[in-house]
Amino acid sequence: MPVIIALFVVWLLSFFLPVENLAVSSTSPWWTLFTYSFVHSYFLHLLVNSFVFWTYYRVMRKSDVYYLIPSCILIPAISGYLSAKSVPTCGFSSVISVMMGYYLSGCSRKIFVKALFLILFSYVFTGLFSKGVNTLIHVYSFSFSYITSVIYRKLCCLLQR
């Protein structure tokens, strides 16, 4: 899995190079909007993000890559810009939130409601008890992905008729 290998390589480089300059903040250069996802603050952070990404990837690897690849690049960048704070933000969870939004846009209403409550609970829980987590970036990534996925799926259905 090339993406997970890249995440681990950047984490290993953090022992030798100042990769914290790749994290996004309100004062960082524009290109950090595209690099912050590859930086992780500690090993458990990297491990959890890699596991969740791998889990979604296994389910969605045969999904529509014409939507997923651009959205996994652009939506986290937009979310990073809108939620940038003075403290740098890093981590791959904005990409995972995009994948969750895409996946849930194709689920039944019953599964969607259950999953949405679980996602909201996790956002509230991490926001309350993890002071360093930028919860807003997760909310933006998931919301933008869900909305654009629904529009994309409806357009695909209309074009197939």
Give per-residue pLDDT as tens, 98-118. Answer: 999 999 998 888 998 999 898
* pLDDT tens, residue by residue, 28-57: 999 999 999 999 888 988 998 999 999 888
Q: For residues 38 and 12, what is the distance between their CA atoms, to the nearest angstrom?
A: 11
Which residues is 89 bridged to in the sheet?
A: 24
* Length, in residues, of the chain: 161
Q: Are 24 and 78 in contact (CB under 8 A)?
A: no
Environment class of 70 (CB within 10 Å of its CB; exposed 0-12, middle 13-18, buried 19+): exposed
Greatest Cα pair distance, the chain, in angstroms, is: 55
Helix orientation angle between 135-160 and 109-129, rounded to the nearest 10 degrees = 160
